[in-house]
Amino acid sequence: MAIDLLPKEFIDCTNFFNQILSTFKFIETDETADWKTYRNEEYGFEVRYPEEFIFESRRDIIRDQIWLGGIYTEDKGNFGILVKEQKLNPDNIEGLYGKIDNVKIIEINNIKAYRYMEGDAGCGGYSISIPKDEITIKISFSDCKGQTTEIVNNQDQILSTFKFIEK
């Protein structure tokens, strides 16, 4: 065998090198590291968003939901957060105008959530309902130009930063 022709010191050195190499951990870069964080202590969650956007906090009641705020732009899309103080019923998810039929179950950081399309007045996009105890957190991504915008394109990355926090 060819390995028998190699000096013992070289084989020992190669084994040592392989042992060291096996301890290396390759770390992926966090593309959201410089993003801003919206944190809501009252409802116990946080989510991050690109730093170039401004999150407008507000507290309005729209239908039976509490509008906590969001990002609103004319050309880059919209991102909003609402809370419904009602436990989510996965068999009866309601959108702007009633029951949603085409709901996809997704997972966000080991949290079961529900994604669906909805829209109003020429604007539309995906909404995600996330159950938490006796409330439902709803995150919506939309645009009004009929084209995919920056926020809509980043929705999966934004959602990947969502997490519950201790109150």
Quick one: pLDDT at residue 16?
64
Quick one: pLDDT at residue 8?
63
The pLDDT tens digits of the residues spanning 5-50 come to 656 665 566 666 666 666 766 666 778 889 999 999 999 999 999 8
Report CA-CA distances (Å) from 60 to 63, 127, 128, 164: 10, 18, 19, 22
Quick one: pLDDT at residue 117?
86
Q: What is the dihedral of CA 46, 81, 99, 136, to 10 degrees?
A: 40
Of the candidates 106, 101, 120, 117, the one whose C-alpha atom is nearest the C-alpha of residue 152 is 117
The pLDDT tens digits of the residues spanning 61-85 come to 877 888 898 887 777 778 899 999 9
Output DSSP code: residue 27.
Answer: P
The pLDDT tens digits of the residues spanning 102-145 come to 899 999 989 999 999 887 776 778 899 999 999 999 998 887 76
- Whether the Cβ atoms of residue 49 and residue 79 lie closer than 8 Å to each other: yes
Quick one: pLDDT at residue 9?
60
Tell me what the mean pLDDT of segment 153-163 comes to: 89
Quick one: pLDDT at residue 146?
63
Between 16-20, 128-132, 151-155, 159-163, the lowest mean confidence (pLDDT) is in 16-20
Quick one: pLDDT at residue 25?
66
Q: Would the pLDDT of 163 be above 90?
A: yes
Sign of CA dihedral 77, 49, 156, 81: negative
Quick one: pLDDT at residue 17?
65
If one looks up domain 36-164 in CATH, what number appears?
Answer: 3.40.1000.10
The pLDDT tens digits of the residues spanning 89-100 come to 999 988 777 788
